[in-house]
Amino acid sequence: MNVTIKTNHQWRNLAYRHDVPADILENDFGYQNADETLDGFFCYRGHWYHLDQFMSISLGNRALAGWDGQLSDSYFSGIVIKMSRDCEQIKIGTFFV
């Protein structure tokens, strides 16, 4: 399977809970315990995400090698992330088959 990943390779800072708009927190992240989920948010292409939405990429997955997590938005596409060593920044990419 041939997978294409598009990214600008720029590191982005992760956001804290207080940086996310209140209506987004209520509507999209209402399942989270506010006392336990203080950071790990980011906005990509106008949509807010949290790291807990991403599935870890297995070592045997050659198509997404070099990336740490994925979130599929269809059978053929999704978002990939790579964490920095200090886990305070991420690189984001879009993949499609």
The predicted-structure confidence for 35-86, as pLDDT tens digits, reads as follows 999 999 999 999 999 999 999 998 778 889 899 999 999 999 999 999 999 9
- What is the DSSP secondary structure assignment for residue 65, as one 8-state letter? T
pTM above the 0.85 mark? yes
Per-residue model confidence (pLDDT) at position 77: 95
**Tokens at 15, concatenated:** 């956001």
Domain count, the chain: 1
- Note whether 83 and 95 are within 8 A (CB): no
Per-residue model confidence (pLDDT) at position 28: 96
Domain holding 21, by residue range, is 4-96
CA distance 30 to 58: 29
The DSSP bridge pattern shows strands 77-83 and 69-72 to be: antiparallel
- Three-class DSSP category at 79: strand
CA distance 59 to 66: 9
**Tokens at 45, concatenated:** 């292409």
Residue ranges in the chain assigned as alpha helix (H) = 22-28
Per-residue model confidence (pLDDT) at position 60: 75
CA distance 30 to 50: 12
Per-residue model confidence (pLDDT) at position 54: 96
